[in-house]
Amino acid sequence: MTGQSYAALTPIRSTSWRHFLRHFAEMVAAMIVGMAVLAPVWVGMFALLGHSSLLEHADLHALVMATDMTIGMSLWMRHRGHGRASIGEMAAAMYLPFLVLFVPYWAGVVSAGTMLTGGHVLMVPCMVGVMLRRRDEYSQHHSQHHHHLSEKATV
């Protein structure tokens, strides 16, 4: 087998940090868009139901924000060709920091502001951890995701 034919059969595996950082930045941007677009929906929905004060509860507010971010990020990841497992792991990274911080918040050890800020800050290492776990996926160009998904669809 010639080097050229072998290269044609082998998928390109770029370990580029540039692609890795681009994936991260795109997901963060999608999370921000998710919060900006969906927050008014929640506010309106709770107001229509006569429960607008529910969002004043920090733990519920944290879950709503995590959901908004997860929806935006998940839609973007799917658009970019990531599989369900990768999207599910990244979604868990959105909720895990809050779930961990709810315990000291409910125990009165940390304030609502600390829980909300800490949850958002801890999302970053959680996301990076998920990305490092699937480093090959997040270090390649997006076109490789679509190629990978189309192969799975034909199996």
Q: How confident is the model at residue 150 (pLDDT cuts 50, 70, 90)?
A: very low
CA-CA distance, 45 to 15, in Å (whole number)?
44
pLDDT tens across 55-70, in order? 889 999 999 999 999 9
**Structural domain boundaries in the chain:** 16-154
CA-CA distance, 140 to 15, in Å (whole number)?
6
pLDDT tens across 94-103, in order? 999 999 999 9
pLDDT tens across 107-146, in order? 999 999 999 999 999 999 999 999 999 888 888 765 555 4
Give the 3-state secondary structure percentages of the chain, helix then strand then coil, rounded to 5.
85, 0, 15
CA-CA distance, 34 to 76, in Å (whole number)?
10
DSSP tag of 54 = G
Assess whether pLDDT exceeds 60 at residue 13.
Answer: no
